[in-house]
Structure 1
Amino acid sequence: MVLSQYTKEFKYNLNLAAPVMLGMLGHTFVSLVDNIMVGQLGAAELAAVSLGNSFVFIAMSIGIGFSTAITPLVAEADTENNFKKGKSALKHGLFLCTALGSVLFLLLLIAKPLMYVMDQPEDVVVLAIPYLDLVAFSLIPLIVFQAFKQFSDGLSLTKYPMYATLIANVINVVLNYLLIFGKFGFPEMGIVGAAIGTLISRVVMVFFIWWVLKARDKSKAYVTNIKIFVLESAMIKKVINIGFPSAMQMFFEVGIFTSAIWLSGTLGQNPQAANQIALNLSSMTFMVASGLSVAAMVRVGNQKGLRNYTELRRIAISIFYLGVVLAFIFALGFVLLHKVLPTIYVDLDDPLNAIDTREVVAIASTLLLVSAVFQISDSLQVVALGALRGLQDVKIPTIITFISYWIIGFPISFYLGKEEVFGSVGIWIGLIAGLTCAAILLFIRFNYLTKKLIRLEVPTVSV
């Protein structure tokens, strides 16, 4: 098949994925704003936000990963014109996401004492705990929002979650400015102010997306008159069977990046702050790839509903190609701007912290060069996961991600990340190994499944 058969899909793929990308970047932008504003307070405060968010990111990955079960079920039902099946997927997904968000919040509260036994700087832990309390609670509205978002994506209404996220970002920026620094008569609350801004903005997201979906003809009947406690065991089982492995996939990946935060914390607050800068910038490019992953999930789910597996494979491969092109552009940007981007996060004019600031920028600049290396593998693995979720194939990919990140990646990070070996750079070499292994194995899995489905495909007759 000639290359144009794939590239002709780029425009449609981007139109579908762009709102998802912007919405996901919006989530990351909340963290970016927190980091930039908190970074003005000092390296200890930035490291505290990094440590607190490392716990939240683990829980968030489970919630967001679980919610992705809703998208392929709704996409398949939409193609089949099966309203009842689509609404059932939303209702049961919404119930399970709300319950999961509440459980994750409670688990984070229980896990707080772990900070004291993780060999982290004591002043960083003291600052991180009150920040974590509030951001942990914000997980509940965030995961409820994710349920509505994944439903909306399944109907190919990808722009509405983007609107909700953008509005939440504006609220978060304003509240951060007022509460972190105590502007216009508001109390100066430091990083706790950043946590309050995050919580309020996430509550707003939930109400806004429900209101928007309720006002649209295509989605109104789905999001109104939901009998949330009238449940069917068959659909609960179906959502869990897709959602739980998907949650574990995201947990294993986010977990290894979180381990990078903890491992860099053992090197000191400056390496930890530098790691947070590089991780925050890398997460933005990952969100773009994640947007393509959702596009793959939706379009593959649609074609699965039609049982057109030849077209399914062609469309998915077109998204793989697009992901590689964008990843190469991001890698080039990191190489060219690796010394400039970290300076956004720090106050270069602060004479009291000048030595620490220079060290943070120097380490972060080097880590961005390492991040440039894994852009393509990171993009390919997350798009492949999206395509496999669209096929509702989640169990084998879960095993693949566990092996890639925790049997291969983490041991490398742990050994090479010691101060006497390669330090921060060694930690990120382990990330490269894990992501590259996952990308290769997940693509092999997709290649195997689609070729098998095509062989079994019943030819359609034109009429």
Structure 2
Amino acid sequence: MSTTTTAELNTPGGFREMLAISTPMVVSHACETLLIFIDRLFLSRIGPEPMNAAMAGGLSSFMLMTFFVGLIGYTTALVAQYLGAGRKSQCTVVVTQAMLLVLPATLLVFACRPLVYSLFGLMDIPAVQREQQQLYFDILLYGTPLVLLRTSLSGFFSGIGRTRIVMISAMVAMVVNAVANYVLIFGHLGFPALGLRGAAYGTLFSSSCALLVLLTAYVRRTNRDEFTIGAGWLFHRTIMAKLLRYGSPAGVEMFLNLLAFTLIVLIFHSHGVVTATAVTIVFNWDLVSFVPLLGLQIGVVSLVGRYMGAGSPEVAERAAFSGLKMGWIYSSLVLLLFVTLPQQMVDIFAPSATNELFLAAAPLAVDMLRLAALYVLADATIVVFSGTLRGAGDTLWAMGLSVAMHWIMVPIVFVFLKVLNFSPIAVWLAFIVFFLISGGLFYLRFRHGHWKTLVVVKD
């Protein structure tokens, strides 16, 4: 390695710093992905129907939480900016404001439950799957406060760069979920076989354990002393206003995007059980490829926010390109897997007994998975540059572009699949093209440079 390259690695905002802060978050999100993946994998042993129900029901429950997950998740950028500005005592005040939002958020999420029931009815999903996905949805919804409190505390540790704590929390959740699901889904150690219901209960229990890890780390003495946590338990109008102002666009973006994505999944599911099974398998693997990139995005938000708070936009830009290199390395490995091993990846979801539905869906799933390799690099590009914009405070523009691209896709999928009767493969190709276009537009906004002029923590 040349001297120049070594210097670039060690420079503030360089690849090594990005790697150090992002790797635990990538591992953390990979664990969260495996948690969901294991749910689907265990349920696939029972049959495709419970697996499909878990996909639709799980997406729908998380969709109701996403506005508040995005809003509270802006804690990462705000904490990072206060840390960069040398105002450590304000970091825990940010966390307190996020926690104050959890109770009203939970009540609003519960109030919206009937709307999702109506959505299930409108999408003309087979009755057997609809009943199961509503059951799964209902149970997972009780985990709303757990998810939001975890988001608050994860945002603090991500913002101050101590992402290893978040990683440990996620690893605990993954292990606990795998054991709990094995016991509760299939009925081991004296427990009855609860099937889909057991998968939901296992998820809630694992989330509780992960929250306990974060809370323990947050209130330990060294953390209390360094960030004066005791003095941070108060309502702070100015910081709450910042969190609402800069976090709301991120929350709106997450909610509208996941709502659009959920509608797309439900439209595919309404096309028939073969298409539903194929799409569920493909999106299970898509989550494995995409969700770890959200860990990289948190690293980008944290570093960009820190250097913007310190008044160093040029270092923030260097951090963005370091994140892009890391994202492309990861996505290139995913691309290779999707191209070379699609059949083996689909066969992992084969039921224990021969199942005609799975046999009919497998060829379609293989073709869709191979085509998914076309957009994995675009995923990394979108994640990194949208994270850069959010870390700097350019959240409104990032929200507008992301939401527009997702909602343009909803009527296209519906018309192509339900009105024009195009094949699922043709609709999938249109889906991929829009992701490629979106990646290019995020890059253009980044290159425009407006985000470098923004100031978030001046007061």
- TM-score when scaled to structure 1? 0.90
Contact 2:224 2:230 in 1 (8 A): no
Contact 2:28 2:171 in 1 (8 A): yes
Q: Report the residue type matching 2:361 in the other structure.
A: V
Q: Report the residue type matching 1:432 in the other structure.
A: I
Q: Report the residue type matching 1:144 in the other structure.
A: L
SS state at 2:343 partner: coil
SS state at 1:231 partner: coil
Identity, in percent, stands at 22
**Which residue among 119, 126, 130 is the counterpart of 1:125?**
130
Q: Distance in 2 between matches of 1:317 and 1:255?
A: 30
Give yes or no for the alignment of 1:309 onto 2:310.
Answer: no
Q: Distance in 2 between matches of 1:12 and 1:324?
A: 17
In the other structure, the counterpart of 2:120 is 115
Q: Distance in 2 between matches of 1:16 and 1:98?
A: 31
Q: Report the residue type matching 1:350 in the other structure.
A: A
Contact 1:293 1:386 in 2 (8 A): yes
Q: Once the 2 structures are TM-superposed, how far is the Cα of residue 437 of structure 1 from its aligned partner?
A: 2.6
In the other structure, the counterpart of 2:388 is 387
In the other structure, the counterpart of 1:401 is 402
Alpha carbons of 1:63 and 1:366: their partners in 2 closer, same or farther (altered >3 Å)?
A: farther
Q: Distance in 2 between matches of 1:64 and 1:311?
A: 28
Q: Distance in 2 between matches of 1:265 and 1:404?
A: 21
Q: Distance in 1 between matches of 2:263 and 2:371?
A: 17
Encode CA deviations 1:243-272: one digit per residue, 9 max, x unaligned. Answer: 110012223332333222111111112221
- TM-score when scaled to structure 2? 0.91
Contact 1:410 1:434 in 2 (8 A): no
Contact 1:410 1:430 in 2 (8 A): no
Alpha carbons of 1:226 and 1:183: their partners in 2 closer, same or farther (altered >3 Å)?
A: farther
**Which residue among 342, 349, 353 is the counterpart of 1:350?**
353
Q: Once the 2 structures are TM-superposed, how far is the Cα of residue 233 of structure 1 from its aligned partner?
A: 2.5
Contact 2:187 2:193 in 1 (8 A): yes
Alpha carbons of 1:45 and 1:32: their partners in 2 closer, same or farther (altered >3 Å)?
A: same
In the other structure, the counterpart of 1:15 is 20
SS state at 1:31 partner: helix
In the other structure, the counterpart of 1:197 is 202
Q: Once the 2 structures are TM-superposed, how far is the Cα of residue 224 of structure 1 from its aligned partner?
A: 4.5
Q: Once the 2 structures are TM-superposed, how far is the Cα of residue 303 of structure 1 from its aligned partner?
A: 0.9
Q: Once the 2 structures are TM-superposed, how far is the Cα of residue 296 of structure 1 from its aligned partner?
A: 1.0
Contact 1:92 1:231 in 2 (8 A): yes
Q: Once the 2 structures are TM-superposed, how far is the Cα of residue 360 of structure 1 from its aligned partner?
A: 2.5
Q: Report the residue type matching 1:165 in the other structure.
A: A
In the other structure, the counterpart of 1:257 is 261
In the other structure, the counterpart of 1:365 is 366
In the other structure, the counterpart of 1:210 is 215
Q: Report the residue type matching 1:137 in the other structure.
A: Y
**Which residue among 309, 323, 328 is the counterpart of 2:327?**
323
Q: Report the residue type matching 2:400 in the other structure.
A: I
Q: Distance in 2 between matches of 1:359 and 1:313?
A: 48
Alpha carbons of 1:161 and 1:273: their partners in 2 closer, same or farther (altered >3 Å)?
A: same
Contact 1:309 1:450 in 2 (8 A): no
Contact 1:297 1:390 in 2 (8 A): yes
Q: Once the 2 structures are TM-superposed, how far is the Cα of residue 115 of structure 1 from its aligned partner?
A: 1.4
Give yes or no for the alignment of 1:334 onto 2:360.
Answer: no
Encode CA deviations 1:333-361: one digit per residue, 9 max, x unaligned. Answer: 111111111111222x513x2x2111222
Q: Once the 2 structures are TM-superposed, how far is the Cα of residue 372 of structure 1 from its aligned partner?
A: 0.9
Q: Once the 2 structures are TM-superposed, how far is the Cα of residue 452 of structure 1 from its aligned partner?
A: 5.9
1:7-406 equivalent positions in 2, closer than 5 A: 9-108=14-113, 110-215=115-220, 217-218=222-223, 222=227, 224-225=229-230, 230-347=234-351, 349-351=352-354, 353=355, 355-406=356-407
Alpha carbons of 1:363 and 1:101: their partners in 2 closer, same or farther (altered >3 Å)?
A: farther
What value does the CA root-mean-square deviation take over the aligned residues? Answer: 2.4
Q: Distance in 2 between matches of 1:6 and 1:368?
A: 37
SS state at 1:187 partner: coil
Q: Once the 2 structures are TM-superposed, how far is the Cα of residue 72 of structure 1 from its aligned partner?
A: 1.2
Q: Once the 2 structures are TM-superposed, how far is the Cα of residue 112 of structure 1 from its aligned partner?
A: 2.1
Contact 2:277 2:358 in 1 (8 A): no
Q: Once the 2 structures are TM-superposed, how far is the Cα of residue 329 of structure 1 from its aligned partner?
A: 2.0
SS state at 1:250 partner: helix
Q: Report the residue type matching 2:379 in the other structure.
A: D
Contact 2:261 2:406 in 1 (8 A): no
Question: Higher mean Cα deviation, 140-149 or 437-446?
Answer: 437-446
Encode CA deviations 1:382-438: one digit per residue, 9 max, x unaligned. Answer: 11111111101111111111222213x333322333486443323433432332232
Question: Higher mean Cα deviation, 429-438 or 21-30?
Answer: 429-438
Q: Distance in 1 between matches of 2:427 and 2:258?
A: 14
Q: Distance in 2 between matches of 1:216 and 1:250?
A: 35
Q: Distance in 2 between matches of 1:215 and 1:98?
A: 24
Question: Higher mean Cα deviation, 100-109 or 46-55?
Answer: 100-109
Contact 1:38 1:46 in 2 (8 A): yes
In the other structure, the counterpart of 2:439 is 439
SS state at 1:417 partner: helix
Contact 2:70 2:247 in 1 (8 A): yes
Alpha carbons of 1:374 and 1:219: their partners in 2 closer, same or farther (altered >3 Å)?
A: farther
The number of equivalent residue pairs is 449
Give yes or no for the alignment of 1:410 onto 2:410.
Answer: yes
Encode CA deviations 1:120-144: one digit per residue, 9 max, x unaligned. Answer: 0111011122211111111220111
Q: Report the residue type matching 2:424 in the other structure.
A: S
Q: Once the 2 structures are TM-superposed, how far is the Cα of residue 222 of structure 1 from its aligned partner?
A: 4.6
Contact 1:417 1:425 in 2 (8 A): no
Q: Report the residue type matching 1:243 in the other structure.
A: G
Contact 2:15 2:319 in 1 (8 A): no
Encode CA deviations 1:352-384: one digit per residue, 9 max, x unaligned. Answer: x2x211122222211211211110111111111
Alpha carbons of 1:142 and 1:438: their partners in 2 closer, same or farther (altered >3 Å)?
A: same
Question: Higher mean Cα deviation, 186-195 or 123-132?
Answer: 123-132
Encode CA deviations 1:285-318: one digit per residue, 9 max, x unaligned. Answer: 2122212211111111111112112222122122
Q: Distance in 1 between matches of 2:18 and 2:291?
A: 15
SS state at 1:339 partner: helix
Question: Higher mean Cα deviation, 245-254 or 129-138?
Answer: 245-254
Alpha carbons of 1:7 and 1:138: their partners in 2 closer, same or farther (altered >3 Å)?
A: same
SS state at 2:98 partner: helix
Alpha carbons of 1:220 and 1:367: their partners in 2 closer, same or farther (altered >3 Å)?
A: farther
Q: Which has the higher contact order (CA 8 A, sep 6+)?
A: 2
Q: Once the 2 structures are TM-superposed, how far is the Cα of residue 70 of structure 1 from its aligned partner?
A: 0.5
